[in-house]
Chains A and B, each alone.
Chain A
Amino acid sequence: MRITRRKAVAATAVAALALTLTACSSGGDDDGAPVDMADKMVGAMEDYGVGTSFKATEPIELGLMYRDHPNYPLKDDWSVLKHLEEDRNVTFDVQSVPLADFEQKRSLLISSGDAADLIPSTYAADVETLTSGGALLAVSDYLDYLPNFQDKVEKWGLQEDLDRLRQADGKFYVLPGLHENPKPSYSVAIREDLWADAGLEDPKTWDEFADQLEVIKEENPELDYPYTERWSINGPMEATLQAAAGGFGTEAGWGYGDGVTWNGSEYEYTGASEGYKELIAYFADLVDSGLLDPEGLTQEDDPAKAKFTTGKAAAIGSNDQEAVVYRTGFEEAGDKDAKVKHLVVPAGPAGNIMDATTGGQFESGIALSSNAAERDDFVALLQFVDWLYYSDEGLEFAKWGVEGETYTKDADGVRTLADDVDWGGLNAGAPKMLNTDFGYYNGVFSLAHGSTEDLVKSTLTPDVQAFLDEMNKKDVAENGPGIAMDEMQREEASLLQTNLQDVVMTATSQFLLGERPMDEWDAYVAELESAGMQTYVDTVNEAAGVNQ
């Protein structure tokens, strides 16, 4: 009898603790209805709108989930923080998350309802599965408080893209970083001098590129391989696969995403599509014929770079910033003849096309925790977000800093970094760095490289600007309708897609490396089918409202 009593006491104690826990953690039930904002005006500007220079009417402190980058760790005395405090009355309560495990920790913080008010450096797809519990704010309910965001969406014709972000409940939860124009960056860099010696011009198509590699190989017997690759840590040459995919009418590499491609009338599974097969076959053939370095599909970036800059390879995967790094590499090695050309991505069998992701105008953006809506300075918070991430003034500040301190601007609007400040080799040799020492041009505060064409190009060298212009002449693959899955569909689909993607990624490596011959393609598609490909595609099409 006494035993029972003791047990009962223990059980009650546990239950009591559990209750407290629930009570504490399940705060604020939301019914989705727009909240009355009258009592959330602390610090807010009455007349805030496009062109208004935001300054909170009284100091506010916002919670900020800070993605801490090991290359420029957060410093309390950064100019960006100082100016936000002095000029905008905004300070931060920082929730620091190291880049290394950012996604996991962000997921944990959101899932447990502990995330800070502002969650930047976040793509809509990153938090898609985390919205159902109400931990994230449906920002689409508050667009009225985001005039600059709305203005840019309208001006740049992004309304349709924005609607595609809407989930089954008709809302979206992330404010994407916006681009006035698509900003493709990745491609292949070649040794322009070797190409010129061989009498070759920039390749217009991938087939031409393959023929040229053959020539380069013959003309330059000292090369180990004419072409090597990088960005292969998590999968083979993911950057170049993505860059090339559009021309083959598919999506691949980093752009593989949800694994479905719109074919004009319905979604089909990317990894089993004809375009994906052609793309893989093309690069597998390069490997097979000794033109593409097989190590390029697995090696780390440093050795890959070294191969290129020491003249063991004549072409390599690249982006606009890395092309500069290669040039510096040649200079350091004392190789004065070498010239690096960042190629415009060649066209493929499907045409001169960019895949929808590369050609898209959304970048990583910012999500808000639903706790933010409970704040009495909620409106000021929204205004601040709108100003910093979407107003011309805020974007310029976040990227370039403060005129007179970090940069100067001439009559034509051309910005020049201050003498003692460098960024990305623009002012090589200067003692301070715009990001490390001042905190500007930092993905947390500065979305999408500054969004506007003017700001994006302001840090680009003329040849990169030319690259960008040329790239933007390409067609962009059609984005299908939005895929708004309900909770059950998403749970099922996300597991299926995880499994399918594992099969695709493993097989892609094997095909490329020749470990598996291309004629086993059908067997591979059968594997996908048994992993639930059809169910997945059906679910996607259903959620996208495609009639079959």
Chain B
Amino acid sequence: MATELRGKETWGLALRKHWRLYTFAILPIAWFLVFRYLPMAGNVIAFRRFRPGGSIFGDEWVGFYYIERFIQDQAFWQAFQNTVIIGGLTLVIVFPLPIILALLLNELRSRLFKRFVQTVSYLPHFMSIVIVAGFVFELTSLDGTVNRLVQLFGGDPISFMQQADWFRTIYISSEVWQTVGWGTILYLATLTTIDAQLYEASRIDGANRWQQTWHVTLPGIRPTMMVLLILNIGQFMQVGFEKIFLLYNTLTQPTADVISTYIYRVGLTSGQLSYATAIGLFEAVIGLVLVFSANAISRRVTGSSLW
């Protein structure tokens, strides 16, 4: 009944009718205002000069000074490029793997074995980034397992964490290890909802297992894929700050430094918070643009979308 009135309903009426419901929103709204929107006001220092220890809203207007500065800043573009590369690799490699793993799991007949593989593969998701970083250091250290394998095959040990060339490989591998298993859960859930009759029908049409997967399974999970893809694209620029922060060093910086770590360094270590904030705003705008475009394209091409 209420839905029919939506167009004409005034706020007064809505409040009177659903005041109990609105009371549920009071605390969360207050929370968002205080802990999310209030600090956002501090972003004004992208256009005002902030001095460490001075007013958090900056001391004087400087217009687009800091924006012009970072546009001319080589290191920023280096970080931007790294972000795009690491984000791109994550999208291309880490995004599809859960789908493949879910499909492989889906073909298993032994319930027990399937459950075992699932249980094991979800586990890394629950590990602290600090621990994951610790694993990475242990496995790639000179006395670690990876180098033992390298030596087994006749190679010389490599100081992986001190070589810029290796950083992306290591980062992506650790992402794969940590997230792929957990990523399957959404797909597996979707797979269970695919109507068994569809398989039966395609079998009668003479489709083999592979064709069934192609024509029934994949279309069945496509909407899930699209929604996750859009979300992933939206977070494209927010390449995991904490993990890179914990893993990188000055030697790997040429390939490892992403926008978020650059912001942290410039902002905190060099005390240039106005400058860092200007870059942060830029990053956020790109994120918004990406998610809106991905959403629009997806809606047009596949019909599924976030909103």
A and B touch in the complex (CB under 8 A): yes
Task: Determine whether the beta carbon of A502 is less than 8 Å from that of B254.
Answer: yes
Question: Is the CB of B73 closer than 8 A to any CB of chain A?
Answer: yes
Chain A residue nearest to B34 in the complex (CB): A17
Task: Determine whether the beta carbon of B272 is less than 8 Å from that of A25.
Answer: no
Task: Determine whether the beta carbon of A298 is less than 8 Å from that of B163.
Answer: yes
Inter-chain CA distance A55–B69, complex, in Å, is: 52
Which residues of B28-64 have CB atoms within 8 Å of chain A's CB atoms?
33-34, 37-38, 41, 50-57
Inter-chain CA distance A6–B10, complex, in Å, is: 13
**Central interface residue in B12, B142, B164, B273, by most chain A CB within 10 Å:** B142
Which residues of B262-287 have CB atoms within 8 Å of chain A's CB atoms?
264-266, 268-273, 275
Question: Is the CB of A430 closer than 8 A to any CB of chain B?
Answer: no
Which residues of the other chain, B, contact A6 by a CB distance below 8 angstroms? 11
Contacting chain B: which of A41-49, A139-147, A455-463, A492-500? A492-500
Chain B residue nearest to A24 in the complex (CB): B56
Which residues of the other chain, B, contact A14 by a CB distance below 8 angstroms? 33, 37-38, 41
Contacting chain A: which of B100-108, B110-118, B203-211, B245-253? B245-253
Which residues of the other chain, A, contact B163 by a CB distance below 8 angstroms? 298
Question: Is the CB of B157 closer than 8 A to any CB of chain A?
Answer: yes
Chain A residue nearest to B50 in the complex (CB): A133
With A129-B270, A133-B53, A491-B275: A21-B38 Cβ-Cβ less than 8 Å: yes
With A298-B163, A303-B142: A134-B53 Cβ-Cβ less than 8 Å: yes
- The minimal Cβ–Cβ distance linking B123 to chain A, given in whole angstroms, is 27
Which residues of the other chain, B, contact A22 by a CB distance below 8 angstroms? 55-57
Q: Could you list 11 examples of A-B contacts with CB < 8 Å?
A: A14-B37, A25-B56, A111-B271, A132-B52, A132-B54, A298-B162, A298-B163, A299-B159, A495-B69, A495-B272, A499-B75
Question: Is the CB of B212 closer than 8 A to any CB of chain A?
Answer: no
Inter-chain CA distance A487–B272, complex, in Å, is: 11
Chain B residue nearest to A108 in the complex (CB): B268
**Central interface residue in A3, A107, A108, by most chain B CB within 10 Å:** A107
Question: Is the CB of A235 closer than 8 A to any CB of chain B?
Answer: yes
With A17-B34, A235-B250: A130-B53 Cβ-Cβ less than 8 Å: yes
- The minimal Cβ–Cβ distance linking B57 to chain A, given in whole angstroms, is 6
Interface size class of chain B, counting residues whose CB lies under 8 Å from the partner chain: 35 or more
Which residues of the other chain, B, contact A361 by a CB distance below 8 angstroms? none
Question: Is the CB of A548 closer than 8 A to any CB of chain B?
Answer: no
Which residues of the other chain, A, contact B33 by a CB distance below 8 angstroms? 10, 13-14, 17
Inter-chain CA distance A21–B39, complex, in Å, is: 10
Task: Determine whether the beta carbon of B74 is less than 8 Å from that of A531.
Answer: yes
Which residues of the other chain, B, contact A110 by a CB distance below 8 angstroms? 52-53
Which residues of A95-135 have CB atoms within 8 Å of chain B's CB atoms?
103-104, 107-108, 110-113, 129-135
Which residues of the other chain, B, contact A383 by a CB distance below 8 angstroms? none
Inter-chain CA distance A67–B164, complex, in Å, is: 31
Which residues of the other chain, A, contact B162 by a CB distance below 8 angstroms? 232-233, 298
Inter-chain CA distance A13–B32, complex, in Å, is: 13
Task: Determine whether the beta carbon of A300 is less than 8 Å from that of B141.
Answer: yes
Inter-chain CA distance A506–B249, complex, in Å, is: 12
| Secondary structure call for the A interface | helix
Inter-chain CA distance A110–B254, complex, in Å, is: 29
Task: Determine whether the beta carbon of A234 is less than 8 Å from that of B250.
Answer: yes
Task: Determine whether the beta carbon of B250 is less than 8 Å from that of A505.
Answer: yes
With A2-B10, A232-B162, A303-B142: A499-B53 Cβ-Cβ less than 8 Å: no
Which residues of the other chain, A, contact B253 by a CB distance below 8 angstroms? 502
Question: Is the CB of B143 closer than 8 A to any CB of chain A?
Answer: yes
B residues near A, CB below 8 A?
10-12, 33-34, 37-38, 41, 50-57, 69, 73-75, 141-143, 157, 159, 162-164, 249-251, 253-254, 264-266, 268-273, 275
Task: Determine whether the beta carbon of A135 is less than 8 Å from that of B73.
Answer: no
Task: Determine whether the beta carbon of A370 is less than 8 Å from that of B141.
Answer: no
With A14-B41, A136-B53, A495-B73: A233-B249 Cβ-Cβ less than 8 Å: yes
Question: Is the CB of A159 closer than 8 A to any CB of chain B?
Answer: no
Inter-chain CA distance A234–B161, complex, in Å, is: 10
Inter-chain CA distance A492–B73, complex, in Å, is: 10
Task: Determine whether the beta carbon of A25 is less than 8 Å from that of B275.
Answer: no
Inter-chain CA distance A235–B139, complex, in Å, is: 21
- The minimal Cβ–Cβ distance linking A337 to chain B, given in whole angstroms, is 27
- The minimal Cβ–Cβ distance linking B33 to chain A, given in whole angstroms, is 6
Which residues of the other chain, A, contact B38 by a CB distance below 8 angstroms? 14, 17-18, 21
Chain B residue nearest to A3 in the complex (CB): B11
Task: Determine whether the beta carbon of A130 is less than 8 Å from that of B266.
Answer: no
Task: Determine whether the beta carbon of A498 is less than 8 Å from that of B270.
Answer: yes
Which residues of the other chain, A, contact B54 by a CB distance below 8 angstroms? 26, 132-135
Interface size class of chain A, counting residues whose CB lies under 8 Å from the partner chain: 35 or more
Question: Is the CB of A295 closer than 8 A to any CB of chain B?
Answer: yes
**Central interface residue in A112, A298, A492, by most chain B CB within 10 Å:** A298
Question: Is the CB of A509 closer than 8 A to any CB of chain B?
Answer: yes
Inter-chain CA distance A487–B274, complex, in Å, is: 13
Inter-chain CA distance A234–B253, complex, in Å, is: 10
**Central interface residue in B52, B249, B266, by most chain A CB within 10 Å:** B52
- The minimal Cβ–Cβ distance linking B39 to chain A, given in whole angstroms, is 9
- The minimal Cβ–Cβ distance linking B48 to chain A, given in whole angstroms, is 12
- The minimal Cβ–Cβ distance linking B256 to chain A, given in whole angstroms, is 12
With A3-B11, A506-B254: A495-B266 Cβ-Cβ less than 8 Å: yes
- The minimal Cβ–Cβ distance linking A193 to chain B, given in whole angstroms, is 28
With A104-B269, A495-B272, A502-B254: A2-B56 Cβ-Cβ less than 8 Å: no
- The minimal Cβ–Cβ distance linking A264 to chain B, given in whole angstroms, is 30
- A498 touches which one: B51, B75, B271 (CB < 8 A)? B75
Which residues of the other chain, A, contact B57 by a CB distance below 8 angstroms? 18, 22
Task: Determine whether the beta carbon of A494 is less than 8 Å from that of B270.
Answer: yes
Inter-chain CA distance A281–B41, complex, in Å, is: 52
Which residues of A3-53 have CB atoms within 8 Å of chain B's CB atoms?
3, 6, 10, 13-14, 17-18, 21-22, 25-26
Chain A residue nearest to B11 in the complex (CB): A2
* Closest CB pairs A-B (n = 10): A135-B53, A133-B51, A133-B53, A133-B54, A129-B271, A298-B159, A111-B52, A298-B162, A133-B52, A130-B52
Interface 0/1 of A298-309, CB less than 8 Å to B: 111001000000
With A10-B33, A21-B38, A232-B162: A135-B269 Cβ-Cβ less than 8 Å: no
Beyond A2-B12, A130-B52, 5 additional contacts (C-beta under 8 Å) are A17-B33, A18-B57, A25-B55, A487-B51, A506-B164
Task: Determine whether the beta carbon of A295 is less than 8 Å from that of B37.
Answer: no
Task: Determine whether the beta carbon of A491 is less than 8 Å from that of B272.
Answer: yes
Inter-chain CA distance A356–B109, complex, in Å, is: 72
- The minimal Cβ–Cβ distance linking A374 to chain B, given in whole angstroms, is 13
- A107 touches which one: B50, B74, B141, B271 (CB < 8 A)? B271
Task: Determine whether the beta carbon of A509 is less than 8 Å from that of B270.
Answer: no
Inter-chain CA distance A30–B68, complex, in Å, is: 31
Which residues of the other chain, B, contact A13 by a CB distance below 8 angstroms? 33
Inter-chain CA distance A491–B271, complex, in Å, is: 9
Inter-chain CA distance A303–B144, complex, in Å, is: 12
Which residues of the other chain, A, contact B270 by a CB distance below 8 angstroms? 129, 494-495, 498
- The minimal Cβ–Cβ distance linking B148 to chain A, given in whole angstroms, is 14
Task: Determine whether the beta carbon of B37 is less than 8 Å from that of A129.
Answer: no
Task: Determine whether the beta carbon of A499 is less than 8 Å from that of B73.
Answer: yes
Chain B residue nearest to A530 in the complex (CB): B74
Task: Determine whether the beta carbon of B272 is less than 8 Å from that of A129.
Answer: yes
Task: Determine whether the beta carbon of B251 is less than 8 Å from that of A235.
Answer: yes
Chain A residue nearest to B39 in the complex (CB): A21
